[in-house]
Structure 1
Amino acid sequence: MFGILRPCADHSCAAVLSAWRAHLCGLCLTLRDRHGQVARAATNYDGLVLSVLTEAQADRPPAHRTAGPCALRGFRSADVIASRDQGSRLAAVASLALAAGKIRDHAVDGDGPAGRRFAGAPLRRVATSWTAAAERDAASIGFDTRVLTAAAERQAVLEATGGLPLPRLTEPTEEAAAAAFAHTAILASTPHNAENLREAGRLFGRIAHLLDAVEDLEDDRARGRYNPLTATGTSLAETRRLCDDAVHGLGLAVRGLDLRERHLVEALLAGETRRAVDRAFAVRHTRPGPVRSAGAGLLTFVTCGLYRPPWSSHRDEPWTDRCRLGGDCCDCSACCDCCPCDCDCDCDCSP
């Protein structure tokens, strides 16, 4: 799972975590149900925002289902968004397309497993399969994935051009996110929200692109790989200013939306987005802990309804205790303040 929006139990109220989990697990199971087990590897924290936005605008809540036990929620069942829900399907489409694009980028750059001539061939075939699957499912909900693939192609051209300012390099990501955000208004039958959603998506895409560049900066320098900050000579201070401006604009765009339910949307696109910026620019201290990808990732792949292993040390552990499952959301002090909360849940947060 990847993305910038990672709510943590230390600062999020119970209502936000429960609703966020319903969309996250719903996205994971939508990928499995519609595209196979392997597709669950494309689960994207940021992609689930499309599911959240669709639900928040619709005149009635989406269909839910009870999911079986999963490693990442302590082998407990959970109430999740059903895989037939259009918002969850749009989130799955975007997640597949984004994951496929990342694999192709690594292949072109000769980086990682995907860049290996022979060993990377199966991964490249997966990317091709995911692209086709995204196109098929997107067509059934009226979304054209060509806006996503065209953005990726344009991104490669801009990066190869050289001499461009940083805002030009973030444009393809902005346009792709804007199109996906705006389509939630179509799915929810609230076309009057489309323009504000397009602006919100554009700004969210800018933030995601910049934070990805910030987090990869040192590694890219060490490996001699392309990074938009290095290529444009943009300082971290200027990048932070661009992020802060985008976060402010994103908040204004969200405030202008006509929503049936605002709480989760504002918690993610206002509070969590700002925390993501703080986290990316903070000094990160690595703390020892269990390896998530090899342990919990494998358990997630083979569970979710199959069985509940009696030997698991996480058998009775709540899913929201993410830090003990190897999550990194609590690795900076900026993340662990209590969220402003005006909901009716039983939490210690205050407005």
Structure 2
Amino acid sequence: MFGIIRPCRHRLSERLQASWMAHLCGLCLALRDDHGQLARTATNYDGLIISVLVEAQAAAGHTAAGAGRRTAGPCPLRGMRTASVARGEGARLAAAVSLALASVKIRDHVEDQDGMFARRPVAAGARAVTRRWDRKSSGSASVVGFDTSVLLDAAARQGELERELPAGGSVLLVTEPTETATAAAFAHTAVLAGRPGNEAPLAEAGRLFGRLAHLLDAAEDQEADAASGAWNPLDATGTDRAEAERLCRDAVHGIRLTLRDVELTDRALVHILLAHETERAVERVFGRPGHAACRVGHEPGATPGSHPEHGHAQHGHPDQGTTGSNPYQTPPRHDPGQAPPQGPGAPVPPWVPQGPGFTPPGAPPPNRRNLLAGCAAWALMGCTCQLLCCEHNHPFSGERREGFCARNECCDCGNCCDSCQCCGENAQCCNDCGCCDGCDCGCDC
């Protein structure tokens, strides 16, 4: 289960990337240690913000002495490498909250009879899992002084609000239970870190984060819900997407302002996740204001590789125009009476994609394995971590592919050079993927 916070490794400095992975692995291992192997499926990106907040508020000597880290053993998802991972009360609180929220999510799927949950045996098994996870999360949360009944009560109240919502009611009435639950979780991080002065601002930041998460989820699922006839808060309250976007952007701005009142020992990662990645989450759902044509070739009538406000190629030399070696150039038009050169011996035009994963022009496609042989090859490569860690031949098509760990699926030109607005530190653009290193200054821009 992934959340709205999805930081790309090209937007984080090396230190912040290591810290992010430490909290992600720490959450996964805390779920395993406290609740069993199945509970690791509840790992989610938004939940580990709890662990990040606890560590960011800890005393300076706590992290420096290594009390918040431990060395974990090899893991296939890390390429069978060891790693330093987060531990302690922050990771346990994040695990308890993630498990409780996963239980609520599964229960919602069962009640709505979504997909396979419409089958009685699957629904019965899912209900048993949710009851077990409710007990487990409550027990582990009580160890760190948190009461998960706040989360479960909010989930129960959510269903009542949806059923009793008056026609034309405010969408903020629907988001209130989510806001209350996240506010309680965020505020308790201040209790664990011994920072009572941070409780109020963190509760406000959590409330806005809960509102943002609920609205973005509703906006993302709006079309699918309309097609399936499922209940959607935006449609039920008559809230258009422009108003939903305004509420989301207001929530992001409110989070930024609230974080200024939070006393943190190290605010760099918190600032990246809650101030910048929340904004990118809004852009991912609603688009980037004033940058509708940022992606190459996505604007009707726009020349691929050029920006609508400039007459030169964005990723090439200014004098390059639309010819030469620019990979985003427009293919030249051929004379109607003359066919373009074809065949194995014909020159490869510069606009034809080449390299690993692409079949050369005129060459037959690679031999494909049948289903049985492909599954056997896939299982072998998965068990030996070839699919995760290194460049490999696709088990079915035979095409050359990068490992899952090396792929950068979250990059797009919409985030090109969007670095820290204050200092621009580490803002090194990569023309290949359009992303840049995130700022590691921890400023309050």
For the aligned pair, the TM-score class normalised by the smaller chain equals 0.7 to 0.9
1:28 corresponds in structure 2 to: 28
CA distance in 2, matches of 1:67, 1:99: 24
More helix per residue? 1
| Pairwise CA distance, 1:75 | 3.0
- Return closer, same or farther for 1:122/1:98 CA change in 2, 3 Å cut-off: same
CA distance in 1, matches of 2:237, 2:135: 34
Secondary structure of residue in 2 paired with 1:120:
helix
Give the aligned residue type for 2:278.
T
Residue deviations 1:110-131 (CA, integer Å, cap 9, x gap):
1123332222222221111111
1:221 corresponds in structure 2 to: 226
1:340 corresponds in structure 2 to: 420
CA distance in 2, matches of 1:240, 1:73: 36
1:40 corresponds in structure 2 to: 40
CA distance in 1, matches of 2:57, 2:385: 43
Q: How many residues are paired up?
A: 324
Structure 1 segments unaligned to the other structure (5+ residues): 290-307
The percent identity for this pair of structures is 52
Secondary structure of residue in 2 paired with 1:142:
coil
* Residues 1:58 and 2:58 aligned together: yes
Secondary structure of residue in 2 paired with 1:118:
helix
1:124 corresponds in structure 2 to: 127
Residue deviations 1:285-309 (CA, integer Å, cap 9, x gap):
9xxx9xxxxxxxxxxxxxxxxxx95
CA distance in 1, matches of 2:124, 2:421: 48
CA distance in 1, matches of 2:421, 2:91: 26
- Return closer, same or farther for 1:178/1:31 CA change in 2, 3 Å cut-off: same
- Return closer, same or farther for 1:53/1:199 CA change in 2, 3 Å cut-off: same
2:165 corresponds in structure 1 to: 162
> What TM-score does the superposition give when structure 2 sets the normalisation length?
0.68
CA distance in 2, matches of 1:195, 1:78: 34
* Residues 1:86 and 2:89 aligned together: yes
**Given the alignment, which residue of 205, 209, 213 partners 1:200?**
205
- The higher radius of gyration belongs to 2
Give the aligned residue type for 2:216.
L
* Residues 1:253 and 2:327 aligned together: no
| Pairwise CA distance, 1:76 | 2.4
| Pairwise CA distance, 1:326 | 7.0
1:329 corresponds in structure 2 to: 410
* Residues 1:314 and 2:372 aligned together: no
Higher relative contact order (CA 8 A, sep 6+): 1
2:113 corresponds in structure 1 to: 110
Give the aligned residue type for 2:72.
A
After superposition, where does 1:58-77 map in structure 2 within 5 Å? 58-59=58-59, 60-61=62-63, 62-77=67-82
CA distance in 1, matches of 2:193, 2:129: 31
CA distance in 1, matches of 2:36, 2:223: 36
Contact 1:64 1:80 in 2 (8 A): yes
Residue deviations 1:308-347 (CA, integer Å, cap 9, x gap):
9546143358xxx9976777522x433454432999x977
**Given the alignment, which residue of 222, 231, 237 partners 2:242?**
237
1:304 corresponds in structure 2 to: none
After superposition, where does 1:271-286 map in structure 2 within 5 Å? 271-282=276-287
1:15 corresponds in structure 2 to: 15
CA distance in 2, matches of 1:322, 1:53: 32
CA distance in 1, matches of 2:54, 2:201: 14
| Pairwise CA distance, 1:9 | 1.8
> What TM-score does the superposition give when structure 1 sets the normalisation length?
0.85
Please provide the CA RMSD for this pair.
2.7
- Return closer, same or farther for 1:217/1:144 CA change in 2, 3 Å cut-off: same
| Pairwise CA distance, 1:137 | 0.6
Contact 1:217 1:229 in 2 (8 A): yes
Give the aligned residue type for 1:13.
S
CA distance in 1, matches of 2:226, 2:238: 13
1:301 corresponds in structure 2 to: none
Give the aligned residue type for 1:128.
R
Structure 2 segments unaligned to the other structure (5+ residues): 299-356, 358-381, 392-401, 429-436
| Pairwise CA distance, 1:27 | 0.1
Give the aligned residue type for 1:220.
D
Contact 1:16 1:267 in 2 (8 A): no
Which is worse superposed, 44-53 or 321-330?
321-330
Contact 1:206 1:246 in 2 (8 A): yes
Give the aligned residue type for 2:199.
A
Residue deviations 1:180-210 (CA, integer Å, cap 9, x gap):
0000010001001000000000000000000
